[in-house]
A and B are shown apart, each in its own frame.
Chain A
Amino acid sequence: MPRLDDQIRSFIGLETEVRLTADAVERGAVRRYAQAIMDVDPIYMDPPAGSRYSKPVAPPLFPNAMLRLPFGDPDLVTQRAEDPHFDGAVGSSTMGLPPLPLVGSPLLNGGTEVEMYRFAEHGEQVWLQSRYLDIYEKESSKGVMLMVVIETDFLDKDRKLIMRFRKTQIRR
């Protein structure tokens, strides 16, 4: 059962650099995303004339899926292929932050807070910066859980906020 010890506590406030995502907002990626979430809103491909969308846009939370493995970077899926405890969670699970030193501790999605300012546009590049906003213990019927709050700012080329996204992960 993970506990909030000094080592875990030292991660609070840890922040990534402002980083460019691996790819720009690609039309094909938007199509696949919209189909996967079963939301085929015309604004994603051909916005109505005269609307506020002068270009096609991506679904609201699309930037949150833009933290892909950059080409040539180490591939955890292969490196940990024979690790029986490897749960497959990579990349976007920690939003580029160093993972907490928890071995064999299941990770669950506990909740989300999102602030939206606009949608990302086709062809646009997106930057992001993430931080461990808070880590705290919570009692549950199954014992103590660690609640890990990761905040990520998604920024445009002028470093203006497209979206702020906070997710709470549960570690048991």
Chain B
Amino acid sequence: MKQNYFEDVAEGQEIPALRKGPLTTVHLMRWSATMENWHKIHYDEKFTVEHDKLPGLLVNGSFKQQFVMQYLKDFAGLEGWAWKAKFQFRAMDVVGTTLDVWARVKRRIPAEGFGLVEVDLGIRNLEGRESTPGMGLIALPLRGGPKIPYPFVPPSTDPWKGTRE
């Protein structure tokens, strides 16, 4: 896996998307079983439509957030650290959809011994509809710089302090 360094990242830069899907009932059932969470709106279509009045079986928010964290982890690489993320589930994705996790660099924030990269992020379906807008904050190493501490030690100034999605 390629290691990204703080110096290599520019504001406005698009990060290559991560595609997941098509997400079938089998994917949703496997995820529900993994979580041991038996919420019917992910596998019981009759209950979902007739009782909860939803359009169809829903791709779990808990499932979609795994994709976001994988994406940020992979962008951070083995030497960086995906410190924070926040996002809202504003639109439903129904079974059968294919999703792209995307991000764009919003700010580069120098910190002590590393750099923080703030990104806008989201999850779009193949029609381009955004369902999960949010932000991420990733620590990237400096070229030739010290190792980012692990477990992660946050910088003295938190760019998101006092904010909440």
Residues of B within 8 A of A88 (CB): 37-40, 44
**Contact residues in A for B38 (Cβ distance below 8 Å):** 77, 88-90
Interface size on B, residues (CB 8 A): 48
List A contacts of B70 (CB < 8 A): 37, 39, 41, 59-60
A51, B78: Cβ atoms closer than 8 Å: yes
Interface-lining segment among B4-12, B61-69, B112-120: B61-69
Q: Can you list, as one digit per residue, whether each of B49-76 has a CB less than 8 Å from chain A (1) or not (0)?
A: 0011110000011110111011001100
Considering the complex, which residues of chain A in the window 73-96 have a beta carbon less than 8 Å from any beta carbon of chain B?
A: 77, 84-85, 87-93
B59 to chain A, nearest CB (A): 10
Question: Given the complex, which residues of B lie within 8 Å of A35, measured CB to CB?
Answer: 30
- The answer on a CB contact under 8 Å between B39 and A116 is no
Q: State how many residues of chain A have any CB contact under 8 Å with chain B.
A: 44
Q: Is the CB of A93 within 8 A of B63?
A: no
Q: Chain B, 121-152, contact with A by CB distance < 8 Å: what is the 0/1 string? A: 00000000000001000000000000100111
Bound-state CA distance A69–B89 (Å) is 27
In the complex, which residues of chain B have a beta carbon less than 8 angstroms from the beta carbon of A64?
A: 62
A97 CB, min distance to chain B CBs, angstroms: 15
Most chain A Cβ neighbours within 10 Å, of B40, B52, B53: B52
Main secondary structure of the interface of B (DSSP, over half): mixed
Binds B, one of A3-11, A12-20, A106-114, A123-131: A106-114
On whether the beta carbons of B30 and A116 are closer than 8 Å, the reply is no
CA distance A113 to B54 in the complex (A): 25
Q: Which of B30, B44, B61 has the most CB of A within 10 A?
A: B61
B83 to chain A, nearest CB (A): 6
The answer to whether B78 touches A112, judged by C-beta atoms less than 8 angstroms apart, is no
Q: Is B81's beta carbon under 8 Å from chain A?
A: yes
A36 interfacial by beta-carbon distance below 8 Å: yes
**A42 to B, closest residue via Cβ:** B1
Contact present for A113 and B86 (CB under 8 Å): yes
Residues of A within 8 A of B78 (CB): 43, 48, 51-52
Give chain A interface residues in 110-145, CB to chain B under 8 Å.
Answer: 110-118
Q: Do B69 and A61 have beta carbons less than 8 Å apart?
A: yes
* Contact of A100 with B by CB under 8 A: no
Docked pose: A69 CA to B38 CA in angstroms = 12
Asked whether any CB of chain B lies closer than 8 Å to the CB of A32, the reply is yes
Check A89/B85 contact, CB under 8 A, given A48-B78, A118-B152.
Answer: no
In the assembled complex, the Cα of A69 lies from the Cα of B150 at a distance in Å of 31
The 0/1 profile, CB within 8 Å of B marked 1, for residues 28-54 of chain A is 000011011111010100001001100
CA distance A168 to B132 in the complex (A): 13
Q: Are A114 and B151 in contact (CB under 8 A)?
A: no
The 4 closest A-B CB pairs, nearest first, are A109-B61, A111-B88, A118-B151, A88-B38
Q: Could you name 30 residue pairs across A and B whose Cβ atoms are closer than 8 Å? A: A32-B34, A36-B34, A37-B63, A39-B66, A41-B74, A51-B78, A52-B79, A60-B69, A60-B73, A60-B82, A69-B36, A87-B39, A87-B41, A88-B39, A91-B37, A92-B35, A92-B37, A93-B37, A108-B61, A108-B89, A109-B60, A110-B89, A111-B89, A112-B87, A114-B69, A114-B85, A115-B84, A116-B82, A118-B152, A160-B151
